[in-house]
């Protein structure tokens, strides 16, 4: 029988749902690039999103995580609108624009990254974080964090890796690099998402940074400081503040 990865919560429904590994509505492209799993350990592989489905959540828990999907979808829409607005205002002379602020729920977005990491590593041969005891199974603590029943203890949690001087491109692409250490433990994943780079870190033993990712395929990851629970992306126009995307924690 299929197994719900949130069964440790003890309130599963009788029916399983066919879960999209990457939530529907979060992406615009038809493909996703993944690296770090058993079938793409050394080189990134691009696969069709329609093929990435599995019965790994019961219907109740799949429904209960809809808040995380909504946070991810709204984040993409906010950045899409922020980039559109920046392009529009940049065409005109400097003015006292009405300042806009797009607000992201940071904890709910963090849950989406955790949910997605669990989805793609569930039933793998690696432990999920240093406290796991069964390969391919999330601990109860990780499940509770995904469902917003508790929080990560710092320095575990969501980091942003800003690409200074680079324009964000929202082409609908998602790229995920699952990060591991020896013995085979998944410690987190780097996501290219909404035109930005995020790193979800599962452990609480040290604060991660570029020195831990010197051989990452993306040079930005191995050369740029990691910002814990990043709070704001500003979009100035002609040297004046125009609008922001704010992460509320």
What average pLDDT score do residues 137-154 get? 97
Q: β-pairing, 227-228 with 45-48? A: unpaired
Average the pLDDT over each of 83-87, 128-132, 169-173, 211-215 and give the range with the smallest value. Answer: 169-173
Q: What percent of the chain is modeled with pLDDT above 70?
A: 85
CA end-to-end span of the chain: 38
Q: Cα separation of 15 and 109, whole Å? A: 26
Is the full-model pTM beyond 0.75?
A: yes
DSSP one-letter code for 36 = S
Contact (CB, 8 A) for 110 and 199: no
Give the Cα separation of 171 and 36 in Å (integer): 23
CB count in 10 Å sphere of residue 141: 18
d(CA 118, CA 218): 23
Give the pLDDT band (50/70/90) at residue 151.
very high
pLDDT band at 67 (very low <50, low <70, confident <90, very high): very high
Examine the pLDDT at 112 and tell me if it is beyond 60: yes
Residue extents of the structural domains in the chain:
7-248
- Mean pLDDT throughout 72-80? 92
Tokens found for residue 59 = 């219907």
Check whether 5 has a pLDDT greater than 70.
yes
Is the pLDDT at 172 greater than 80, yes or no? Answer: no
- pLDDT band of 169, cuts 50, 70, 90: low
Query: Binning pLDDT at 50, 70 and 90, where does residue 53 land?
Result: confident
Coil, strand, or helix at residue 10?
Answer: coil
Instruction: Give yes or no for a contact between 27 and 72, defined as CB atoms under 8 angstroms apart.
Output: no
Q: Name the percent of the chain in helix, strand, coil, to the closest 5.
A: 25, 30, 45
pLDDT at 174: 79
pLDDT class of 146 with cuts at 50, 70, 90: very high
Instruction: Please report the beta strands in 59-171, taking only residues with DSSP state E, as ranges in sequence order.
Output: 100-105, 127-128, 157-161
28 pLDDT higher than 70: no
Across 14-28, 81-95, 115-129, 227-241, least confident range: 14-28
Say if residue 22's pLDDT is above 80: no
SS3 128: strand
- Total length of the chain: 249
Residue 39 has pLDDT above 70, yes or no: no
């Amino acid at each position: 029988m299929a197994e719900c990865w949130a069964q440790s919560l003890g309130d599963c429904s009788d029916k399983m749902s066919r879960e999209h590994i990457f939530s529907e509505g979060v992406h615009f492209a038809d493909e996703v690039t993944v690296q770090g799993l058993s079938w793409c350990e050394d080189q990134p592989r691009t696969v069709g999103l329609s093929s990435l489905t599995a019965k790994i959540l019961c219907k109740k828990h799949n429904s209960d995580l809809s808040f995380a999907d909504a946070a991810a979808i709204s984040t993409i829409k906010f950045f899409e609108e922020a980039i559109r607005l920046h392009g529009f205002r940049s065409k005109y002379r400097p003015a006292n624009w009405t300042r806009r602020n797009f607000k992201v729920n940071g904890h709910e977005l963090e849950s989406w990254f955790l949910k997605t990491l669990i989805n793609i590593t569930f039933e793998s041969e690696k432990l999920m974080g240093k406290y796991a005891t069964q390969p391919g199974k999330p601990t109860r603590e990780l499940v509770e964090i995904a469902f917003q029943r508790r929080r990560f203890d710092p320095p575990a949690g969501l980091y942003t890796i800003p690409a200074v001087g680079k324009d964000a491109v929202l082409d609908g692409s998602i790229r995920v690099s699952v990060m591991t250490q020896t013995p085979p433990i998944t410690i987190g994943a780097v996501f290219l998402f909404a035109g930005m780079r995020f790193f979800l870190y599962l452990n609480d033993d040290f604060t991660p940074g570029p020195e831990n990712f010197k051989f990452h395929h993306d040079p930005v990851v191995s050369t740029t400081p990691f910002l814990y629970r990043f709070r704001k992306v500003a979009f100035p126009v002609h040297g004046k503040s125009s609008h922001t995307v704010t992460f509320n924690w």
